[in-house]
Amino acid sequence: MYAIGTVEAEYPNVAIEREMQAIAHALGVQTTPDADMPMKQTEDRTWQHAVLSKDRKMTRYLARQLSWRLTIEDSPVFVLNPRCPSDFDELIDCLARPKYPKANPGKGKRAGKGRSTFIDPPFGPPQDLDVVVGVRGSQTPDGIEVLMDQVFTMQPVPGLGEHFVQMADNWGLSDEDRAYNFLVARYELTAQNIAGIHKDYKLTGVPTFSSRLSGSAGRIVRAVFTYSGDNTALEEKYFVRVDVTHEFPFIVTTWHPYLERGEAS
């Protein structure tokens, strides 16, 4: 799987939650609560990150005891099981960023004088920026287990907006969805084009097809980016080929103009 969402830490039982509080007290961890998003201190990402990163050697056992999840558009989908113990540091670092974006001060329904606010009630759409690469495991009561090999946090691309949300709004299990998520997360040229190289055009579709180059040696997906003019009926199409045979996709053919040949392949 190759999925984009938000890494979150949950307590499998109340004893682990109380242990986190005890360690926070022992380490002298103090954080300022977010007035815009009131919640229990132990559920606050900033507090969790502060505790777990204060002394990682001391808190390593807690990181192993927590339930690590990947939510996609606020839906819990995957249970993360790192193959390497050192990967817990990467999971902890994912907690350092806020889950929800904040709008400019003084704007929105919840805004007060000089106060920042979230985009939509209650919080607006989540910032799904954490990329998890791994192998799908068994179905559990808490979600699909993932044997995790890599996790990293993307930097949001200015201007990508709703195109990013729609392209990455999937579980990253099928060949097509893994190709989409790889392109969003790793292929810089794709992001640049969507963000506005074609200033008089807008992105109107990104269908994917199995390429004619697929065969017994591997599976290759072709992603076709369609741009339409704002004031004309003209379209421009470009494509890239992505090899999704293995756990880590890679580019086979870089950005090229797309030629219709009577069938999508």
Question: Under a CB-based contact definition with an 8 Å cutoff, are residues 211 and 265 in contact?
Answer: yes
Determine the Cα–Cα distance for residues 66 and 91; give it in Å rounded to an integer. Answer: 11
Q: Domain 174-265 is in which class?
A: alpha beta
Look at strands 143-153 and 250-257 and give their pairing.
unpaired
User: How high is the pLDDT of residue 197?
Assistant: 53
For the four alpha carbons of 50, 56, 60 and 64, in that order, the dihedral sign comes to positive
What is the distance between the alpha carbons of residues 103 and 105, in angstroms, rounded to a whole number? 6
Neighbours of 102 (CB within 10 A): 16
Q: What was the pLDDT predicted at 216?
A: 78
At 193 the pLDDT is 62
Query: 121-135 in b/e burial notation, b at 16+ Cβ within 10 A?
Result: eebeebebbbbbbbe
Contact call for residues 77 and 171 (beta carbons, < 8 A): yes
Q: What is the pLDDT of residue 160?
A: 55
pLDDT of residue 101: 78
Domain boundaries for CATH 3.10.450 within the chain: 174-265
Provide the strand spans (E) within 175-232. Answer: 201-205, 208-210, 220-229
Instruction: Dig out the tokens for 75 from the structure.
Output: 């839906």
**Residues 33 and 197: beta-carbon distance below 8 Å:** no
How much is the pLDDT for 119?
47
Joined tokens for residue 250:
């890679």
Look at residue 157 and give its three-state secondary structure.
coil
Please report, in tens digits, the pLDDT of each residue of the chain (265 residues total).
999 999 999 999 999 999 999 999 999 998 877 766 777 889 999 999 999 999 999 999 999 999 999 999 999 999 999 999 999 999 999 999 989 877 554 443 333 344 444 445 456 788 899 999 999 999 999 899 999 999 999 886 655 556 667 888 899 999 999 999 999 888 776 656 655 555 677 778 889 988 888 877 899 999 998 888 777 778 888 899 999 999 999 999 888 888 877 655 4
